[in-house]
A and B are shown apart, each in its own frame.
Chain A
Amino acid sequence: MKDNKNNNHTLTNNHIITLENITKKFGNNVVIDNVSIQIEKSKTTVIIGPSGCGKTVLLKHMNVLLRPSSGRVYLKNRRIDNLNESDLKQIRLHYGYLFQEGALFDSMSVAENIMFPLQQHGKIKISKTTEEIVKTKLAMVGLDGFQNFFPANLSGGQRKRVALARAIALNPEIILYDEPTTGLDPIRSDMINEIIIKFQKELNVTTIVVTHDMKSAYKIGDRIIMLHHGKIIADGNAEHIRNHPHPIVQQFIHGQVSEDDLAVLRATGSVIQTQFHPRDFEQN
């Protein structure tokens, strides 16, 4: 009974994932510091924050790709951070995960990449049915016809879209996006944003996006959470974040360098003093 109490969690409202007092340390470095979040079902939650603040680490706790140093992770009332890798295999089928660089398998074609999860779990032989699923998934990201391409022959945006098609291959309930627009031009970024919105509406999935692209965050997010040094410093809708009184939130959303950072930059002295002229390298 006690064990049952420990492993289950009573959810309020419509929460699908709960992170409870999560702390993550790598050695002595505390990356996530006692963070608690409840993720609402069928909504888009965006986690923002400067590079290195622990966004990706937090995202990887949602499907237990990383285990917390302390704290608990629940999926639909069930505690999952203490499960072994074998039990987690079934749990992870609830999730689709878009990695920052796509993480497509280099040695496989686009079609084989999307077939991979289907073959692993769907008990489908390479048949017309699988090909139809691949075609449908690729059409959803606007890349039908690219089945025989290899990842090396695709642009950054195309790779992310293929990775997205692979992430939704098993029709997950939750999709985790790690920096989906990073490294893309504004048009491609907007296309990815539109795909995220389309998936959320048409597939009714719960979406969690990690990004530092504020334009994207405002466009797709029902709720925006800001992390700073591993702690949550702001949590609310787009309007709430825009008007948040915290100076770090304001600096981040407006893309401004802090006075402290500027002072460090000024203290390093003039750049001209450290410049070289080509003649300085001439051989005598």
Chain B
Amino acid sequence: MPELGQSKTITTINDIGRFGRFAWKSFINSFGCCINRKALPLVWYQMNVIGVRSVPVIMITGAFVGMTLAVQAYDQLAGMGLEEHLGVLINISVVKELGPVLAAVMLAGRIGGALTAELGTMNVTEQIDAVRSMGTDPVGCLVAPRILACLLLTPSLIIYADFLGIVGGYFVSVIQLGINSSAYWEFSAYGVGLWDVSIGVIKGFFFGAAIAVISCYKGFTCKEGAQGVGQACTEAFVASFISILALDFILAVVSKAIYSTFWPIKSIV
């Protein structure tokens, strides 16, 4: 039994090492992609698949987040006579936390699953070996364009989610619940600053990179057969989801520390 535990530990350390090397190689190749004109059509194609086709689902996610927040928070604030502050609560939650996180989770399901399934199928049908046999690095050719597309487009998609979240919240608060429109926007403008929006968008770069690297890694290392590909897709989604939550926590701590350093008084207020 101790031997079994030891071998599991070694396997886990090996896996972490392998993932670290893969991630490092992927990022180096992604930067290489930026200056390689030959790779640009591949990046462009992936941006269309990953970004453009995800816009509707991301917008729907954002809109429902905003609308649900308005419905849930109204009663609490109305009970204290603060219903006109609803805009601050909805908009800061949407742009700083819920918009980025839920958009990233939706992307992990939509894009992460597709990336893993595509690369996993290429792996089991020897297409990745075919790329290697032609003297081409499969990480540079298959992974880097996908990572670059995810890295660049996740923040853009988060902006879409934020926008629709704000519109959805406004629709329910002002049109359905009858809050005064100018008061709604006035309090929102007071409570939500450029910093809050920027933090939400910056999170997108980290979430996008995590989704792409994890999904591509799982595709590259998936086991043979349909079951192997299916299992890799599930593992990729679970790992991406946990990474998004963990990164969100870390970035919240870091951003708060930065904010407190540069604007100490405003952070107390």
Chain A interface residues toward B at CB < 8 A:
60, 63, 65, 85-86, 88-93, 95, 97, 99-101, 103-106, 116-117, 119-121, 166, 170
Smallest beta-carbon distance A36→chain B, Å: 23
Check A85/B137 contact, CB under 8 A, given A100-B126, A101-B126, A103-B127: yes
Closest CB-CB distance, B220 to chain A, in whole Å?
Answer: 13
Q: Are A92 and B133 in contact (CB under 8 A)?
A: yes
Residue pair B134, A92 in contact (C-beta under 8 Å): yes
A88 to B137 alpha-carbon distance, docked (Å): 10
B136 touches A89 (CB 8 A): yes
The interface residues of chain A lying within 8 Å CB-to-CB of B133 are 63, 65, 92, 95, 97, 99
Is the Cβ of A119 less than 8 Å from the Cβ of B38? yes
B126→A103 contact, CB < 8 A: yes
| Nearest 9 A/B pairs, CB to CB | A103-B130, A97-B133, A92-B135, A103-B126, A117-B134, A89-B135, A93-B135, A120-B136, A99-B126
CB pair A103 B125 closer than 8 Å: yes
- Chain A nearest CB, measured from B256 CB (Å): 42
The answer to whether B137 touches A101, judged by C-beta atoms less than 8 angstroms apart, is no
Give the interface size bracket for B toward A.
Answer: 10 to 19
Is the CB–CB distance between B130 and A99 below 8 Å?
Answer: yes
Instruction: Pick from A85, A103, A117 the residue with the most CB of B within 10 Å.
Output: A103
Query: Which residues on the B side are within 8 Å of A63 (C-beta)?
Result: 133
Which residues of A sit under 8 angstroms from B186, Cβ to Cβ?
none
In the complex, residue of chain A having the shortest beta-carbon distance to the beta carbon of B142:
A105
Residues of B bordering A, CB below 8 Å: 38, 121-122, 125-127, 129-130, 132-137, 141
Q: How many whole Å from A149's CB to the nearest CB in chain B?
A: 17
A21 to B128, CA, bound (A): 28
B134 touches which one: A85, A104, A106, A116 (CB < 8 A)?
Answer: A116
A271 to B127 CA separation, bound complex (whole angstroms):
41
Q: Could you say which residues of chain B place their CB within 8 Å of the CB of A95?
A: 133
Q: What are 26 A-B residue pairs whose CB atoms fall within 8 Å in the complex?
A: A60-B129, A65-B129, A65-B132, A85-B137, A89-B137, A91-B135, A95-B133, A97-B133, A99-B126, A99-B130, A100-B126, A101-B125, A101-B126, A103-B125, A103-B130, A104-B127, A104-B130, A106-B122, A117-B134, A117-B136, A120-B38, A121-B134, A121-B135, A121-B136, A166-B134, A170-B135
In-complex Cβ contact of B130 among A91, A97, A119, A121 (8 A): A97
Query: Who on chain B is nearest to A107 by CB?
Result: B118
Complex contacts, A85 vs chain B, CB 8 Å:
132, 137
A166-B127 Cα distance, complex, nearest whole Å: 13
Q: Nearest Cβ in chain B — how far from A121, in angstroms? A: 6
Contacts of B134 in A (CB 8 A): 92, 97, 116-117, 120-121, 166, 170
Residues in chain B near residue A88, CB distance under 8 A: 135
Q: In the bound complex, what is the Cα–Cα distance between A121 and B127 (angstroms)?
A: 18
- B122 to chain A: which residues have CB within 8 Å? 105-106
**Residues of chain A within 8 A of B136, CB atoms compared:** 89, 117, 120-121
CA distance A106 to B117 in the complex (A): 13
B138's closest neighbor in chain A, by CB?
A85
Decide yes or no: A99 and B135 within 8 Å by CB, A119-B38, A120-B141 being known contacts. no
Q: How far is the CB of B229 from chain A (nearest CB, A)?
A: 14
Q: A120–B135 contact, CB under 8 A?
A: yes
**Contacts beyond the supplied A92-B133, A103-B127, A120-B134: 19 A-B pairs with Cβ under 8 Å:** A91-B135, A92-B132, A92-B135, A93-B135, A95-B133, A97-B134, A99-B130, A101-B125, A101-B126, A103-B125, A105-B122, A106-B122, A116-B134, A119-B38, A120-B38, A121-B134, A121-B135, A166-B134, A170-B134
In the complex, what distance in Å separates the CA atom of A63 from the CA atom of B130? 12
Task: Provide the bound-state CA to CA distance between A95 and B135, in Å.
Answer: 9
In the assembled complex, the Cα of A108 lies from the Cα of B129 at a distance in Å of 16
Q: A121: which B residues are within 8 A, CB to CB? A: 134-136
> Hey, which chain A residues are within 8 Å of B127, CB to CB?
103-106
Q: B130 contacts A90, CB within 8 Å?
A: no
- Contact residues in B for A97 (Cβ distance below 8 Å): 130, 133-134
Bound CA span A145–B125, Å = 26
Q: What is the bound-complex CA distance between A97 and B127, given in angstroms?
A: 12
Q: Inside 8 A of B38's CB, which chain A residues have their CB?
A: 119-120
Interface centre among B121, B122, B125, B141 (most CB of A within 10 A): B125
Considering the chains assembled together, what is the distance between the CA atoms of A86 and B125 in angstroms? 23
Closest to B130 in A: A103
Q: Which residue of B lies closest to A99 (CB)?
A: B126
CA distance A167 to B132 in the complex (A): 12
List, in ascending order, chain B residues with CB within 8 A of A103's CB.
125-127, 129-130
